Amino acid sequence: MKADIQRATEMVAGQLPAELYRHTVRTRDYALELAKRFGCDGRELERIELAALLHDNCKHWQTQRLLSEAKALGYAPSELERCVPALLHAKVGAHRLQRDFGVTDEVVYSAVYHHTVGGCGMVREARIVFCADKLEPGRNYEGLDELRARAADGLKELCRAVIASGLNYLMRKGTPIDTATLDFYNELVMEQSGG
Ligand SMILES: [Fe+2]
Ligand SMILES: [Fe+2]
């Protein structure tokens, strides 16, 4: 996996537009910070680093390219993704991992696949990338510092708080909500209540 990380580091530096590259590096650094805080080590840290580096590998693509690559990769967009095609960069980005970056690790795939809206069955590497993407130091929105501080309550609480903040934002904007986010929220709540 070390060779994959090296290749991914070069790819993001060479292929991503400047601002997206900076967000990617900040997300990686913040994800590794969270990972150490939550006691991850060894292979977990490598998976987190690789997933964070590649999470937005096609975020800069235009709608048409995302749609045509989804088709080429055999991914059928949901109704919501057809309505908000920018969401597709997570699914298309995950499907590209093997073909375009030679990355076959299933946890890295899941972390990239779920990084935008979340979903059920995410192991902690994927959950950390999900949170880091929304909390990295380049982000700027109301309540962000309070949100970051929730890390003190553990990863599940942090995920719950990040989801709640995201839902709140989407509802205020009047944007549709992916039901995968609600499934993720329910999974976390049921884990916490021991259900
Ligand atoms: Fe993204
Ligand atoms: Fe991102």
Ligand closest to Cα of 114 equals 1
Could you tell me the distance, in angstroms and rounded to a whole number, from the CA of residue 87 to the centre of ligand 2?
11
| Separation CA 14–CA 58 (nearest Å) | 13
Domain of 87: which CATH number? 1.10.3210.10
Specify if 145 maps to a domain: no
Quote the percentage of the chain above a pLDDT of 90.
97
Specify if 159 maps to a domain: no
Q: What sign does the dihedral 150-154-157-160 (CA atoms) show?
A: positive
Specify if 168 maps to a domain: no
| Alpha-carbon distances, residue 109 vs 13, 57, 145, 151, 179 (angstroms) | 21, 12, 29, 24, 20
Which residue carries 């913040």 as its tokens?
A: 30
Specify if 69 maps to a domain: yes
Q: Which token pair is 153? A: 């309550």
| Phi and psi based region of residue 74 (left: phi greater than 0; alpha: psi -120 to 50; beta: remaining) | left
Could you tell me the distance, in angstroms and rounded to a whole number, from the CA of residue 194 to the centre of ligand 2?
31
- Per the structure, how many domains does the chain have? 1
Residues 13-58 pLDDT 10s: 999 999 999 999 999 999 999 999 999 999 999 999 999 999 999 9
Written in H, E and C, the secondary structure of 1-38 is CHHHHHHHHHHHHHHCCHHHHHHHHHHHHHHHHHHHHC
Could you tell me the distance, in angstroms and rounded to a whole number, from the CA of residue 26 to the centre of ligand 1?
13
Specify if 36 maps to a domain: yes
**What pLDDT is attached to residue 62?**
97
Q: Of 129, 162, 124, which is closest to residue 57 (Cα–Cα)?
A: 129
194: pLDDT confidence band, cut at 50, 70 and 90?
A: low
Could you tell me the distance, in angstroms and rounded to a whole number, from the CA of residue 41 to the centre of ligand 2?
23
By residue range, what is the domain housing residue 96? Answer: 2-139
Could you tell me the distance, in angstroms and rounded to a whole number, from the CA of residue 79 to the centre of ligand 2?
22
Ligand closest to Cα of 91 equals 1
Q: Taking residues 154-160, what's their average pLDDT?
A: 97
Specify if 116 maps to a domain: yes
Q: Of 108, 122, 11, which is closest to residue 51 (Cα–Cα)?
A: 108
Q: Is the pLDDT of residue 6 over 70?
A: yes
Specify if 178 maps to a domain: no
